[in-house]
Chains A and B, each alone.
Chain A
């Protein structure tokens, strides 16, 4: 432990202020300001992380309380459980089905909205409005619309003579319907971010490209989209994490069904630990650790592989 002798209570010489070495006393009072945040994180983040890890090696007593160590049993079960493999694949499929369309559509829309035409403000607010809907409100509205017998979507299809679709009751379609709901929910936010990004593209760059003869599509593809890559990358990373964590829309629309066709990793954790009076906290915790690993690995991959293509001004 080394300390320097500058006493924080005396007025230091002005020239030495910026590079003042921390005194021991100054240290403690500095750390004091970190304590509230660190305390919350310690109790509700760091400690639970460790406990999740411990739980994943534990079994249950008859009351469903975690008890006794079972070694790597849960992890071995995960490796062999074909249902769990399906859950993982489904989770990845769900992420692709949501993140790719959201970014593609909102990119297209933000370019369309970046024009000087009448009433554009109305369009912008209207397109951003899904952002105001929480996962619960959006899912409830979609649940009403998806209803097979009486829902408005089948009602509209009926107008065109198309038979009823089992939006959330057909195991082949349910995951797509949930993805559709998720795409809608995330659209507003993606659009806000991309529009803000477009707004910060300097006019002189666009002007210069125009003078060089770039117009329309060429301008968008070679100039504007590269300049938006920081925002697109940000949306890719945050969107992937959000999709991986989707829970409310599945819980409200399908409860993981029909026939497990919408049970993703997070929903599977919920089912094992909390649904139907299950208390398989150990097995669920092993899945939670898998979730943590998946999130960290995918994020790291995105930073490692994709970020190189991002064009930072």
Chain B
């Protein structure tokens, strides 16, 4: 039973990697070839790198995801700190206002956002890729839940000892909530790295495209070479695969923040 599922679910993963090593003769074979029969073809990787500026796009993706991750962590830490520890009138209102942003599908506001970025002359720039995502309701929710379980006495004690708010934040709260921050970081990075719709709209040249858009350009190129397309895909998926294998603990925690107590 497990083995049947392993074949069904594992096959696309396997084929992505195996196919990236196949020459045109094997990958297009009928009936199918399931492994590179005529020897592994590393040429596919070189070909993919030649066809589009994959390395540059890889860099674009890293820069975009890095900036978004940093932005979300900063805005979420600041907001949840204030929501949990600082005196505030209408606290519940602010919390639900920030939380309600999670209910809005990005696609429902993508047209005005596109018009805004386009009017601001930011199309095809890094700010266009990152600005709309520098804050996210999920990050605020996740950190607020974590900070709530933090003993309030610690904050009061620190205040009595003359510790300022920023100092408490940097020296006590952030170091003590490292696991949750890691979870948020992994989550933000993955989400940003995998974005498709928005980068498709706001980038125009291969030089500014992210790798997710780049590999689909490989596919729609005139001389469609499946092995080469899969090679590009492998290059795009390796970082997240490594992240999944080594960071599974954090990712599960981040992604299931609302589901598991």
Contact = CB atoms under 8 A, between A and B. Distances in A.
A68 B230 CA distance: 47
A137 B237 contact: yes
A127 B13 CA distance: 10
Interface string B106-137: 11111111111000000000000001111100
A187 B9 contact: yes
A33 interface: yes
Main secondary structure of the interface of A (DSSP, over half): helix
Contact of A33 (B10, B29, B86): B86
B6 A252 contact: no
Interface string A246-263: 011001100000000000
B256 A192 contact: yes
Interface in B208-261: 212-213, 215-216, 218-219, 226, 229-230, 232-233, 236-237, 240-241, 243-245, 248, 251-252, 255-256, 258-261
Contacts of A225: none
A86 interface: no
B204 interface: no
B135 A288 contact: no
Given A33-B79, A156-B31, A295 B194 contact: no
B78 A36 contact: yes
Contact of A295 (B105, B111, B255): B105
Interface residues of B, number: 94
Contacts of B156: 14, 17-18
A41 B193 CA distance: 21
B230 A155 contact: no
Interface residues of A, number: 102
Interface of B: 1-2, 5-6, 9-10, 12-13, 15-16, 19, 27-34, 71, 74-76, 78-79, 81-83, 86-89, 94, 98, 101, 103-116, 131-135, 140, 152, 156, 159-160, 162, 165, 193-194, 196-197, 200-201, 212-213, 215-216, 218-219, 226, 229-230, 232-233, 236-237, 240-241, 243-245, 248, 251-252, 255-256, 258-261
Interface of A: 8, 11, 14, 17-18, 20-23, 26-27, 29-34, 36-38, 40-41, 43-45, 47-49, 51-52, 55, 66, 105, 109, 112-113, 123, 125-145, 147, 149-150, 152, 154-156, 158-159, 184, 187, 189, 192-193, 196-197, 200, 230-231, 234-235, 241, 244-245, 247-248, 251-252, 266, 269-270, 273-274, 281, 284-285, 288-289, 291-292, 295-296, 299, 313
Given A244-B105, A252-B216, A270-B107, 10 more contacts: A17-B160, A36-B75, A37-B140, A40-B134, A129-B241, A134-B194, A155-B31, A230-B259, A245-B107, A288-B110
